[in-house]
Amino acid sequence: MWYRIKIFFRLKKSKLISTMKLAVLFFLFLSLTIKPVYAGLAVTLHGTLIESAPCVINDGETVVVDFGDEVMTTRVDGHQYRKKIDFTLTCNAKVSSKQKLKITGNTVSSGFEGNVLDSEKPGLGIALYNDEDRYSPGEWLDFDSSSLPDIYAVPVKQADITLAGGTFRVLASMVVEYQ
């Protein structure tokens, strides 16, 4: 973009300062008339559109794990109240049998044995297990599509904490990666 600027110079021979002002104005004028130069590069983007996802988790419905109304705060020990996370995986296209699953959510580790899902209730978290092995939220879990992994959720409490009664809720997302 070009700008047209009119600059009037008035030079007084007897003043050095006026000459310096003239020099500054001249360089200012030169800097305003310099045009930036841009380089161009052709970019090619490509991809594949698919009509719909070949696999759907739990028919698109929310997976709910209900620990019930009688979870006693004194019995929350990382073993009691263990519940299976029941979900389905339906694939309408030919996909590889080797797949990956990941559960993500807000996690907390301070005062717990490993990462747990944060319940937003002070001192209470939800630990996840793949069968009997502890599963850390956010990590990929390999599985074969012919047999879904058995994922379990269990309430845990921070060490040296007395839990207060009341309801709690934990939100997490389940992602399946397929080929």
In a domain, 15, yes or no: no
- Give the dihedral sign, CA 48/50/55/58: positive
In a domain, 118, yes or no: yes
In a domain, 121, yes or no: yes
Report the 10 Å Cβ neighbour count for 89: 17
In a domain, 45, yes or no: no
Collapsed DSSP state (helix, strand, coil) of residue 22 = helix
Give the count of domains, the chain: 1
- Give the dihedral sign, CA 8/11/15/21: positive
In a domain, 7, yes or no: no
Report the pLDDT value the prediction gives residue 64, as an integer from 0 to 100: 92
**What's the CATH code of the domain at 140?**
2.60.40.1090
**Domain that includes residue 141, residue range:** 55-177
pLDDT, tens digit (0-9, with 9 covering 90-100), for 24-41: 555 555 555 555 555 667
**DSSP code of residue 89:** E
Residues 141/100, Cβ–Cβ less than 8 Å: yes
Average pLDDT, stretch 55-70? 89
Q: Is the pTM of this model over 0.75?
A: no
pLDDT, tens digit (0-9, with 9 covering 90-100), for 139-179: 999 998 889 999 999 999 998 889 999 999 999 999 988 77
